[in-house]
Amino acid sequence: MKRTLLKLLTVSLLLAASLQPAYAQWPNKPIRIIVPFPAGGPTDITARVVGQAIGEALKTSVIIDNKSGAHGFIGISEAAKSPADGYTLMMASIGTMGINPRLHEKIPYDANKDFAPVSLVVTVPIVVVANTSVLPVQTLPQLVSYLKANPGKVNFASAGNGGSSHLVPEFFKFRTGTVMTHVPYKGSGPAIADVVAGQVQLMFDTLLTSTPFVKSGRLKMLAVTTAERLADYPDVPTVGEALGMKDFEASSWYALYAPAGTPADIVARLATEVDAALKKPAVAKRLTDLGAVPVGGSPEKLAAFQRAEQEKWGKVIQVARVKVE
């Protein structure tokens, strides 16, 4: 009788444990966030700031794993194939999830099927920055005039084919009837470094990575691509204002994902922790000081936002006839 009762008790305990939500046992080891770009860029910076806060809340270590190369495909492919157990996440960008699906005929992942959206972390204004020691302009209209007088002689850097720093200037070229030469880099960090060094004259960069160089006077901010002027740079016009193109608007963004199939309760818990992290004054200040706008929100909100961005940039790619090198 005692053995029978013991067996029944054991079975009951095992059944109860199996019925507990996945997050009841999670996390019990470090969490890895794959960043498909080099260290120092906006995706990496966002992952490190938010990852640290998430780790503190969940009482575990969060490791940032930079897996750069091949337009981000290497890191994204690894994230997609990782176990869907809540221990591997990915910080992705507008380029990887909003643009690439419409820009490339074939990519090694499905942005809408291979991942479980967690939360839209931040949006980031895009700014037109120039090294005026090698580019003799001080305003956006002057830039357009110079480009028309010197077609193809001005180079613009990007973080790589397919990102916002590639697509926004391509659209700018189309709308202004100008010609520039695209110089893709493996990430925003090395791209903006070469603009600062004068190797490339111009970049449509995120405010996140260009802020230190603008504040130090090493780069000149000619315009912002947002719909409204930025509060921290009230004297810098929007592209729409400067060139009379009110519909010219673009922002970059960074979001957190898990592999498809990750338990819904873990995904929901992660979204809750991202929201909580972004509301912490220290985290919010660090991001806003770098030029990012904390967002947060549910997995459903990110999924809808991602599809809308794919539609928007798909139209830009078609209208501007953008091709990858």
What is the C-alpha separation between 85 and 61, in angstroms, rounded?
16
Question: Which pLDDT does position 41 carry in this prediction?
Answer: 81
Residues 131 and 117 in one domain: no
Overall average pLDDT of the 2-22 stretch = 51
Residues 111 and 184 in one domain: no
Alpha helices in the chain (DSSP H): 2-19, 42-58, 73-81, 100-103, 140-149, 164-176, 188-197, 207-215, 239-243, 264-278, 281-289, 299-319
Confidence of residue 7 (pLDDT cuts 50, 70, 90): low
Question: Which pLDDT does position 13 carry in this prediction?
Answer: 47
Confidence of residue 4 (pLDDT cuts 50, 70, 90): low
Out of 192, 221, 243, a domain closes at 243
Overall average pLDDT of the 161-190 stretch = 91
In a domain, 23, yes or no: no
Residues 282-320: pLDDT tens digits?
A: 999 999 888 889 999 999 999 999 999 999 999 889 988
Overall average pLDDT of the 126-152 stretch = 97
User: Domain total for the chain?
Assistant: 2
Residues 177 and 234 in one domain: yes
Sign of CA dihedral 22, 96, 53, 293: negative
Domain range for 140 is 125-243
Residues 216 and 268 in one domain: no
